[in-house]
Amino acid sequence: MQLLLGTLPRRPVGDQRLLSLEGADGDRHGVLHVLFRFVVSVDDGVRLSPTDELAEILGSANRADLLIGAALARADDVVILYRGNLDPLVVPLRWFRTRPDGPRLDVSDLAVTDFGQTVLLGAYEAATDAILYEFDDEYRQRAKRRQLETDRSLGGALRRLRLQKGLRQSDFPGLTAKEIARIERGEVKKPQQRTLAAIAKRLGVAAKEISTY
């Protein structure tokens, strides 16, 4: 720790972040929080993933979508989760809803497991992706984009092709934007032949080719 502090500049530079696997005394702990934008340290009551899992998570290209540790703020009834990029995420304990016949929450037994993909509160498990989907707008937008990109329905194919062509839902002569939107959302499973023909003509493909995109 002394070597680390000796090599750092006197003023914070950029978006520096630190994951500390060992403790530090009070004064040194304060210095670290001045020098780094985010400090994740066992001194803050953080329960980190096992070392081998930490190495895997931190080396992952999608580390921001995985968790490396968690801390309980009992006075505020929240859990602070730390992502692989060290960003903190505050989740109210009330979000972890239990079923009458399901396992009960045990906040004293808090852990992150499954290489950052699961939060444990005793026997209760919560998926990391479900937490991020609820509390991170950017993650939710990315997840929705991935879902659309892998949607093999006619509506998903139409949306991909429309965007590929740079068209809006309102750019189809004889059809309303609402009609196109309903097809893309899967509310219309089998559009009429004349509708498909009009869509295909505007897209510049054969009607039977739309679903292949």
Cβ atoms within 10 Å, residue 33: 13
Does the pLDDT at position 102 exceed 90? no
Summarised one tens digit per residue, pLDDT across range 19-34 is 767 665 656 666 666 6
**Per residue in 155-172, pLDDT tens?**
888 988 998 888 889 999
Q: What are the counts of helices (DSSP H) followed by strands (DSSP E) for the chain?
A: 8, 9
- pLDDT-derived band at 8 (thresholds 50, 70, 90) equals very low
pLDDT at 75: 92
Q: How confident is the model at residue 15 (pLDDT cuts 50, 70, 90)?
A: low
- Spell out the long-range contacts of 137-145 with Cβ–Cβ below 8 A and sequence spacing 24 or more: 139/65
Query: With 90 as the cut, is the pLDDT of residue 204 above it?
Result: yes
What's the pLDDT at 158?
92
Sequence spans of domains, the chain: 1-44, 45-140, 151-212
Joined together, the tokens standing for residue 179 give 């009609």
Tell me, what's the pLDDT at 43?
Answer: 63
* pTM (predicted TM-score): 0.63
Instruction: Please give the average per-residue pLDDT across 98-105, as a whole number.
Output: 86
The CATH fold of domain 151-212: 434 Repressor (Amino-terminal Domain) (1.10.260)
CA-based nearest residue to 132, from 97, 93, 90 = 90
Of the spans 76-80, 166-170, 188-192, which averages the highest pLDDT? 76-80
Between 98 and 91, whose confidence is greater? 91
* For residue 68, pLDDT beyond 80: yes
